[in-house]
Amino acid sequence: MCLVVGLLLVWPAVHHAAWRAWHFDAWRFGGFAMYTVPKLAVATGLVGEANGGWVSLVPHELPPGVQDALARQKKFRRALGDLARPDPLARAVLALGGLDGVVVVIKEQHLVGTEVVEETRWYRYSLSGLEDLSSGTDFPQEWR
């Protein structure tokens, strides 16, 4: 009984620390931060690489399977934050063929103190692997 009470007393601090570290949805994992944090936006974009150039991939023009993967990515990213990597989405896009690679661009808002801060992360996938471009310099400046 004392162990259960002790865990209930410690869990809010652990949940808050994990929420700050991984940016998951504060309403998840039974924490108390849910009462203090607004729902913040998450946007996901896709840019293809073909023949050494960039190709904009418009979500509503993609096949239904890729649109489903995009919807799942947005849902999981909102819920799990940085723990939800876009690997399945990139695999679905690369399976279409015709692309040398794909860049998944995720723009999300985080609460830092009392300020809402927007962060952009780039995940670059090729047919041979993944590269995290979050701080890269070779990505087009207009998409930063």
User: Using one digit for the tens of pLDDT, what is the confidence trace for 108-134?
Assistant: 887 776 788 888 888 888 887 766 555
Q: Is 133 helix (H, G, I), strand (E, B) or coil?
A: coil
pLDDT digits (tens, 9 = 90+) for 5-44: 877 778 777 877 777 777 777 767 776 666 666 667 788 8
Given phi > 0 = left and psi -120 to 50 = alpha, else beta, which region is 15?
Answer: alpha
Provide the residue type at 132 as one letter.
D
Distance separating alpha carbons of residues 22 and 84, to the nearest angstrom: 10
pTM of the model: 0.71
